[in-house]
Amino acid sequence: MWRIASYSDVGTRIVNEDRVCVTESGNCACVTVADGVGGHGGGSTAANAVTRKLNRLFAERVLGSQKAGEILEKNVMLDVLTEVNATVLNLQTAGCRLQATCVTVWMVREENCCTVRWAHTGDSRLYFFREGKLCFRTKDHSLLESGAGNQGTGLQNVQRNVIWQAMGEPEGIRPDISDKIQIENESAALLLCSDGLWEGVEEDKMEKLLARSCTPEEWLENLRKELSMARLDAYDNNSAAAVFIR
Pair 227, 197: CB distance under 8 Å: yes
pLDDT in tens, the chain (246 residues): 899 999 999 988 889 999 999 999 888 999 999 999 865 568 999 999 999 999 999 988 777 765 666 789 999 999 999 999 999 999 988 878 899 999 999 999 988 899 999 999 999 999 999 999 999 999 999 987 776 545 444 444 445 568 899 999 999 999 999 999 999 989 999 999 999 999 999 999 999 999 999 999 999 999 999 999 886 666 789 999 999 998
Phi, psi of 112 (to 5 degrees): -115, 5
DSSP H or E stretch at residue 86: helix 74-91
Collapsed DSSP state (helix, strand, coil) of residue 150: helix
Q: Rounded to whole angstroms, how far apart are CA atoms 5 and 24?
A: 12
Phi, psi of 214 (to 5 degrees): -90, -20
Collapsed DSSP state (helix, strand, coil) of residue 116: strand
Alpha-helix runs per DSSP H in 19-73: 43-57, 68-71
Any bridge partners for residue 126, and if so which? Answer: 192
Pair 235, 213: CB distance under 8 Å: no
Phi, psi of 168 (to 5 degrees): 110, 20
Q: What is the separation of C-alpha 26 from the centre of its chain, rounded to a whole number of angstroms?
A: 22
- What is the model's pTM? 0.92
